[in-house]
Structure 1
Amino acid sequence: MSSRSDIERHHSTKSCRQNNRAYGICRTLVLAGICILPLSGCTSFVIGAGATAGVAALQERGFNGAVSDSAITAEIWQKFLAQDEKLFLDIEIEVVEGEVLLAGQVESTADELEAVRLSWQVDGVRSVHNEMSVGSGLSLMDNAGDLVITTKIKAALMFDGDIFAINFSIETVNGTVHLMGIAQNERERDRVIAHARETSYVKRVVSHIRLKDDANRQGA
């Protein structure tokens, strides 16, 4: 006869699997949305494709750059999903002007190398920043904490009148904040980094922010 602790452990395991499955379904739906509306991602479901296109046009990378980056993101996600569902679920992707950021926690070095290899197969990719770590999967509590951190930083950037928040992307994995985007100048870049560092529970900040006049920018 099963003990009470065995029953509780069974229910806990089942709950985690159900939550992971739900997350996978949600992410698949988001991917489908990106494939249908390359500009939009999640935003299109809320404000519509027309408004999203307007937002893209206001970004420093411009309308065409936003289209290209969204297409690259969607194709990388598709390759991950076709290769191994774990890659699709465990890795976060940000793309700015063809620069790809891969962040997350994968199960093995082989998975890490495979993710980088697949990313380089996509047309338009100019560089790949590997910020993945190898280890056991993050808990739901860790994921929730990361989401809170990202949300706080985004809010701080939006309410800072000296920062054009629309130009920056943020990914948080296990307390490490990854920043990408295009800053108008060093002062703006430093303010973005400072907001991230000053946010509660942030362990580390990794910046891949480029300056507007950086000669290495695509089309610069």
Structure 2
Amino acid sequence: MKRLLTLFFLLALPSLLSACATAAGAGATAGVAASQERGLGVAIDDSAIHAKIWRLWLDTDPHIFLEVGVDVHEGRVLLTGTINSPQNRLDAVRLAWQVKSVRQVIDEIQVTDEGGVLDYSRDVWITAQLRSKVTFDSEILAINYSIETVNKVVYLMGVAQSEAEIDRVIRY
């Protein structure tokens, strides 16, 4: 009997730990959303839009989900990435528009066969450098911005506190 209880505990432990991680992750997400300029309610709506777009893409064609990035701010959806099929690009945009509460879809998806690990690594490095500069600038509320780089093109989306702040971010 003792052996059976030990086995049950060992099998149940991963589920219990993952539940803790989920709760902690949800708490952290709520904390970040509450501190953003757009407010908690809008951040929650944006997260729901994001999740619904991902679900539609996964149900339609997993390649879209894997190759296209999504950023949502105040119902505005920015689609970025590279994809090798014009039809997948059209599907990505069409499906994004199907989600309730989407106010605008900004299509910056590039249709190309080019790109690879080196290009992706370079883009990640560019994004990290810019995010670092914005984060450590005391005159910028960095949490309000999402930064994405695709083929050396930087996409910036968010809510600025002032014209001076957005000018400062763009100067980087």
TM-score normalised by L of structure 2: 0.83
- Residue 128 of structure 1 deviates from its aligned partner by 0.2
Greater CA radius of gyration, 1 or 2? 2
Deviation sequence 1:136-195 (CA, Å, 0-9, x none): 152011111111111111110111111000100011111111000001111111111111
Match of 2:99 in 1: 122
RMSD: 1.9
Greater RCO (CA < 8 Å, at least 6 residues apart): 2
Identity over the aligned pairs, expressed in percent? 49
In structure 1, stretches of 5+ residues that fail to align are: 1-35, 37-43, 196-220
Q: Does 1:49 align with 2:23?
A: no
Number of residue-to-residue matches in the alignment: 153
Following the alignment from structure 1 to structure 2, what is the Cα–Cα distance between the partners of residues 123 and 132? 21
> In the alignment, which of 83, 93, 100 is matched to residue 106 of structure 1?
83
- Of residues 137, 150, 162, the one that matches 1:160 is 137
Q: Which stretches of structure 1, 4 residues or more, deviate above 3 A after TM superposition?
A: none
Hey, what does 1:173 align to over in structure 2? 150
5+ unaligned residues in a row in structure 2: which ranges? 1-18
Distance 1:109 1:48, change over 3 A: closer
Taking structure 1 as the reference length, the TM-score comes to 0.66
User: What is the deviation of 1:84?
Assistant: 0.9
Does 1:190 find its partner at 2:147?
no
Q: Describe the SS at the equivalent of 1:102.
A: strand
Give the residue type in structure 1 aligned to 2:68. Answer: I
CA–CA separation in structure 2 for the residues paired with 1:80 and 1:89: 9
